[in-house]
Amino acid sequence: MDKFLIKGGKALRGSVPVSGAKNSALPVMAAALLTADKVVVRNVPKVRDLVTMSKLLAFMDAKVSAGTVPASDYEIQAPRLNHAEAPYELVKTMRASILTLGPLMARVGVARVSLPGGCAIGARPVDLHLKALEQMGAEIATSHGYIDAKVHRNGSRGRRLKGAHIVFEKITVTGTENILMAAALAEGETVLENAAREPEVTDLILMLRKMGAEICGDGTSTLRIRGVKELHGTEHTVIPDRIEAGTFLVAGAMTDGDLTITNCQPKHLGAVIAKLQQAGVQIEISDATTVRARGAKKLAAADVTTEEYPGFATDMQAQYMALATQAEGTSVITETIFENRYLHASEMVRMGANISVNGREAIVRGPAQLSGTTVQASDLRASAGLVLAGLVATGETLIDRVYHIDRGYEGIVEKLRGVGAQIERVHSPGS
Ligand code: UD1
């Protein structure tokens, strides 16, 4: 298993480009299942989750061509879907495989998708996806670890889902995306209330609209989708990754550096930018795709609560905690989206941070001088938090299980080295 070795203490300076958004590329690639035509997806980040998604589509008999994988451009064509199945072997490595359920139900009216289990950050059920599909006429059974879903054949209508009025009890990002894709080919209108408003949802809507879908309400919590009989091929460039951009902003700020983040969309970073400014970080937005972060000599503590977009993203919580360890005073972090998303806190404590966790609340007292040691990454964003902690720690930090970070950050070692960090990937024997 690969590890990262970091020698902390260097201020990061220079310019670093952001890759395409993993959480946008995943539903956009799954949406290619909705048509028999060719779909071209560009600006896909070269990360493990997208390789898994391409394998999953290929398993279903879609033709996926990308030259060498991982790639930033994929051509996907699914004239027929002979295996409407997402097998356990692929789903276990990527929960977002559930994003194939909506398109499969819409296109062929049957699907067998392995139930994504819990993960390090909590139970993560998909009950809301299933309930909504049932409202649209799907019959769903779960047994032996699989979701078996089908729509009964109905004369000339075939196995077609029906539009429905769906109110999500809780806001769910991939749930919203699954239902958008399912409803795009359903008979009649679907109204989806309490929908997620994340930029990645809006990006999927733009792509579906280019394929011929009739959707309105982008960026709001009520989406209306009028189902059409067929969708066609298109080309789509995914939006920049706002979580990667936010991670670099924190890296520039907490190393007392000066980082310019390019190829990003600062308009998607509102809550993170506001919080960093409150902590004393100097932020400059020079244009629609560039943002610069300069560290303050002294960072100030600031409380944060994770929320759905446009609030402060749960996917930035671990990185913000790393910054809070360096800020003067007490920062209270409240995690409202996931039940168990503080596994990085105990690793930061081993590095010398003063953090106490009580249920959904973490209290961080700073500033603390962190010192390098061996730490374990537990999930994707937790790993990013540990990398940031390592950048300011004295001595060497060795981060184990970095396969988590490889799921979602393209070339993080190279990008950080490019702006002065002393970080290297260590290949362990047997990996
Ligand atoms: C997506 C993102 C992930 C991010 C998360 C929250 C992708 C591929 N992943 O995950 O990076 O951290 O949004 O912003 O886009 N829930 C239920 N029942 C359901 C669905 C969700 O109870 O059927 C709960 C979850 O357990 C969680 C909350 O709702 O507590 C939000 O989860 P959700 O928005 O669905 O997260 P994902 O879409 O899995």
Q: What is the 3-state secondary structure (H, E, C) of 262-324?
A: ECCCHHHHHHHHHHHHHCCCEEEEEECCEEEEECCCCEECCCEEECCCCCECHHHHHHHHHHH
Q: Compute CA distances 135 → 130, 140, 192, whole Å.
A: 9, 11, 11
- What b/e string do you get for 322-349 counting C-beta neighbours within 10 Å, with b at 16 or more? bbbbbbeeebebebebbebbbbbbebbe
Cβ of 337 closer than 6 Å to ligand 1, yes or no, is yes
Single-letter residue type at 194? N
Distance from C-alpha of 262 to C-alpha of 15, rounded to nearest angstrom: 7
Distance 338 CA to ligand 1 centre (A): 8
Q: Please indicate whether residue 173, judged by its CB atom, sits closer than 6 Å to ligand 1.
A: yes
E strands, 25-155, in order: 38-42, 63-65, 74-77, 85-86, 110-114, 139-143, 146-150
Q: pLDDT exceeding 90 applies to what percent of the chain?
A: 87
30 C-beta closer than 6 A to ligand 1:
no
For ligand 1, atom 33: residue with the closest CA: 172
Q: Determine phi and psi for 61, rounding to 5 degrees.
A: 85, 15
Give the pLDDT band (50/70/90) at residue 122: low
Helices and strands (H, E) in the chain, number of each type: 14, 25
Average pLDDT over residues 205-232: 97
Cα of 14 vs centre of ligand 1, distance in Å, is: 34
- Compute, in angstroms, the gap from residue 298 CA to the centroid of ligand 1: 35
The CA 341 to ligand 1 mean position distance, Å, reads 13
State whether the beta carbon of 160 lies less than 6 angstroms from ligand 1.
no
The alpha-helical segments, DSSP class H, found in 197-269 are 199-210, 242-254
Q: Is 216 a catalytic residue?
A: no
Count Cα neighbours of 272 within 13 Å in the Cβ-side half-sphere: 30
Using alpha carbons, select from 331, 372, 328, 314 the residue that is nearest to residue 348. 372
End-to-end CA distance of the chain: 5
Q: What pLDDT, on the 0 to 100 scale, is given for residue 119?
A: 60
Interval 40-85: pLDDT, tens: 999 999 999 999 999 999 999 999 987 777 789 999 999 999 899 9
Q: Which atom of ligand 1 is nearest to the CA of 26?
A: 8
What is the predicted pLDDT for the residue at 66?
74
Token digits of residue 311: 């609030």
Cβ contact 314:338 at 8 Å: yes
The catalytic residue among 119, 120, 343, 357 is 119
User: What is the per-residue pLDDT across 164-216, written as a single tens digit (0 to 9) for each?
Assistant: 999 999 999 999 999 999 999 999 999 999 999 999 999 999 999 999 999 99
Token pair recorded at residue 12: 């990061």
Residue nearest to atom 9 of ligand 1 (CA): 23
To the nearest whole number, what is the mean pLDDT of the chain?
Answer: 94
pTM strictly above 0.95: yes
What pLDDT score was predicted for residue 68?
Answer: 75
